[in-house]
Structure 1
Amino acid sequence: MTAFRIKNWTREDHPIRGDIVRFKSMIGRRIFNIHEDLLCTSSEYFRKTFQGNRKPIEGDCSICYHKLKSKAEDVTFCRYGCGQNLHKSCLDTWTSTKTSPKCPMCRKDWIETSTEAHLLFAEIQDSTIQLYVNWLYRGFFPETEDATPIHQNNEAWLQYHQLLVKAWELSSKLQAKDFADLVVGRIIESMDSEHGANLEDVCIESAYGVNGTSEMRRLAVNLFLVDTDAHYIVGTAARHPKEFFVDLSVELLGRAGRPATFADVTERYFEGEFEDSEDSEDNGDDDDDDEMDD
């Protein structure tokens, strides 16, 4: 069994307070109401969406000149202006005396969080988003024994693998690194077990599907190359997309004979080797990833 390391997500590190934001999936019906700071500290996509201009929470409040402590008290920021952080209590006092509140720093109109629901541009089911919400607030993600019946038959394992892959799609779309690390760790752990036979195909189907990203495709290729050979590759040609075999060829050419193990893939993933580079993003090569930034 492959060992992997995962950073624990705890409430102590990410206090639950402050403004609430709302969002929903393109194909979902439910509107999710989540604490903004909790959401934005876990997801780079949501940080850019809701707090793209926010400055780092450091230094002193510009109203009371006392130190900003994000873990001990509510801190708000100038959302549509300079992005400066202020104590929420100080800002409330400041705006209560103004008929048209403005930021005390940049003097632009002070606008509170929108009550409209943000549309998440991804075909993600509500049940998958709920997995993410459960992890955010409770640090909980289903174990194999939670998701399968006592006998853990093949159908039950397939359902658990599909749950993992849907969570993988969401974590990649949201650029939620800690959540992705948890999910990928579970994927590798399951694939490196006696029950991992169908997980390989599920991962490839997901990585090259509508919600797939370049990072997912690179990881799927590397997982496929563990314990494989030429005969196996030929035997799978009919059930995988041609784009997969193009990426597979590129990886093999770059590998120059280096052997693959689950431990090798795990180490490379957690060292960030499969993450998108800034150069590829700047050149517009990763259209699937860029879609989330619109």
Structure 2
Amino acid sequence: MKTAYIYPGLNGLLRPKDRIRYLPLPEVQARFKQAEAALAAQTGVIVDLNELLSRSTEEIYSIDNISLAAVAICSIQCGVGDRLKATHPAPEWLMGCSLGDLARAVFAEAYSFEDAVVNHVKFTRDIGGINKIGKNIGVSTPAGTAFTPEDRAWFEEIKVDVSNFSPRFLNIGGRFEELALIEERAKTSGWKTMTILEYPAHSRYILPYVDKVKREVLNVKTHAPKTKIFSSFSAKPITEADEIRQEFILSITQTIHWDLAVTKLVRDHGITHFVNMGPCSSLTALMKDIAVTVETTEAYEILGL
């Protein structure tokens, strides 16, 4: 059995049960303490991550707290990885989904945990205003159907940016006016829509904001990964430290090709088993709509939580 660990993104804390599932792990609590200490020392930010996760979804995902929500997710994923490293054989591959790339890089020893959380908070603090131009939504077709070539051509025509997660689920970043057109079309097409992030992640519209911090991002210290990494942006392996660094920019500005990346890991690299590193199970749910034969297990099932 060839295994790959997969790491969800910033939607990881949307459900209350996902926020608390991994909190009993000592390794998660240790990562929380490490993150809190690093943020206090290097950014002046004081946070109690356990207390943050006790708040409402709206508070956790408010523009003021979103970077700390990201720190909590990364800390949980790294704590889960710490436990699995100590108790289970190493995976063949690692693949993150957007924010999940941070914990993926930490597991591979390509990026230090403290750098991951501190730099994320520093960089996101410097891109204020991104919530005023648009947002990021999920759009799904009814079960048993898929988006058509005509649908995809229309998305391109109205200038939104589409991340492909499965034939029937898309993540779309764009400006408010174009997203309103999608929500209107959804009413007649039977699509379901939901807001995922209150800013246009994975779209061209966030580039001017990210350019402000690009120089700082490209100065972070990275190393060649010790565990093989597969990119969900390029759908290719990543082997060099500079590629890790470049993906910190890609992780917020570029579209994701999740279905293609999963397919390539299975078809070209022989993966037969994915372990979802949490906190949420969204990536597991997508697997049934991707044309691969593979087993997917939640990390909490392996760890007996």
* TM-score bin, normalised by smaller chain: under 0.3
Give the TM-score taking structure 2 as reference length.
0.21
Return the TM-score normalized by structure 1.
0.21
Greater C-alpha radius of gyration: 1
- Structure with more of its chain in strand, by fraction: 2
Structure having greater relative contact order (Cα 8 Å, sep ≥ 6): 2
